[in-house]
Amino acid sequence: MTTFATLLRATAAAVASIFAVGAASAEPPLMLARNGSFYVGGKMTDIDGRALMDGHMYVEYMIPARKTHPYPIIMVHGGLRTGTNFTGTLDGKEGWAQYFVREGYAVYIVDQVGRGRSPIIEKAYGPARMGDVRGVQKRYAQEEKYKLWPQAHLHRPWPGGGEMDSPWVMQLSASQAVEIENFHTQQELNRDALIALVDKIGPSIILGHSQAGAFLWPVADARPKLIKAILGIEPNGPPVRAVDFIGAPDWFKYGDVALAYGVADVPLTYSPPVKAASELKFVQQEKADGEGLVRCYEQAAPARQLSNLKDIPILVLTSEASYHAPYDHCTVKYLEQAGAKASFIKLADLGIKGDSHVLMMESNSKAIAAVIGKWLATSVSTKQAAK
């Protein structure tokens, strides 16, 4: 019988081998002009007779020694995660933060309010929650086994397998963090902190993964002159109503309203204006746009316009096997109906196949980052910054 000590030694050896691979394929030294951290946002408050900060956000920055792009990239991680998602892959290689620094971008990596190094204060933010790491298997590591959505069978199996004690799964599970339970509260707090960050550092590109996608639109809406591009990496969605994945043959179960303002649950500037979300009227497609896709919700005609987003370049990027594959097109359709211009890149169309939702941490994450970099090079004007 395998003892716990034997299993522990085997797991430790497997994890060590991951980092041996990462070290063997390491890039040349990363040349930085500056590297540090600070906090933005928040206020002093009194809780149970003690003075505390709340609403603040931790920010780490890397400024390249040779900065060739005028606008920094703000990287905002997804649900139950921290900024470490952007600083390393599951097999021990450098992450997207280092990639874009090497490409000449300054990078700012945040820990969301109430997450990681932005401490959670339940008496200020409400209850906290921790995810079940078994969800890692169903949504990322072994989705081809569970087949909860139509594209799940396309997943490329992870090295070492997707079992709970496999090295990649343990790395991803270890990165899970306690978060604010209420999604609306998350959006309010992170919107305000990210606005404070943009006000501090100036014109920026903002990148949000997954849950953080709901923060992108309100921040850009509030600072349309300062946000030079929006990078939605499988951004929170689909618009309006949540979707649960239930497997074949029905695949999708449509839930309650999760994003009352279409792509966010906090107010956005519409034209004609709305005083409350209840003034927005939504309809669902009678027929999906294709096999294996959800039936999108959009505005009832005539659609109000998201006027503050119309001049900002937007990218929505989606992997082949992710649970976002059935619905990220709905986010693009919603934005376009509301007057925004969104590019939709499906990685499979570029020959990058089989990735899960945590695409910035997969073994081919560098190739995916290169796709984003190419889009930025052709979509974001630097003429004004050069003046």
Please give the backbone phi and psi of residue 13, each rounded to the nearest 5 degrees, phi first.
-65, -40
Burial of 65 (0-12, 13-18, 19+ CB in 10 A): exposed
Cα distances from 121 to residues 41, 109, 220, in angstroms, run 15, 21, 27
User: Rounded to whole angstroms, how far apart are CA atoms 281 and 303?
Assistant: 9
Total residue length of the chain: 387
Residue type, 154: L
**Any idea which residues carry the catalytic annotation?**
210
As given in the structure block, the two tokens for residue 173 are 């599970």
Q: What residues does 115 pair with on adjacent strands?
A: 118
Could you count the other beta carbons within 10 Å of the beta carbon of residue 281?
Answer: 10
User: Rounded to whole angstroms, how far apart are CA atoms 343 and 362?
Assistant: 23
User: Rounded to whole angstroms, how far apart are CA atoms 181 and 255?
Assistant: 18
Burial of 317 (0-12, 13-18, 19+ CB in 10 A): buried
Please give the backbone phi and psi of residue 8, each rounded to the nearest 5 degrees, phi first.
-65, -45
Quick check: 84 and 98 in contact, CB under 8 A? Answer: no
As given in the structure block, the two tokens for residue 10 are 């085997």
Q: What stretches of the chain adopt beta strand conformation (E)?
A: 32-47, 50-64, 73-76, 107-111, 128-129, 179-180, 204-210, 227-235, 241-247, 251-257, 282-284, 297-299, 314-318, 342-346
DSSP 52-117: EEEEEEEEEEEEESS---SS-EEEE--TT--GGGGT--TTS---HHHHHHHTT--EEEEE-TTBTT
Could you count the other beta carbons within 10 Å of the beta carbon of residue 282?
Answer: 17
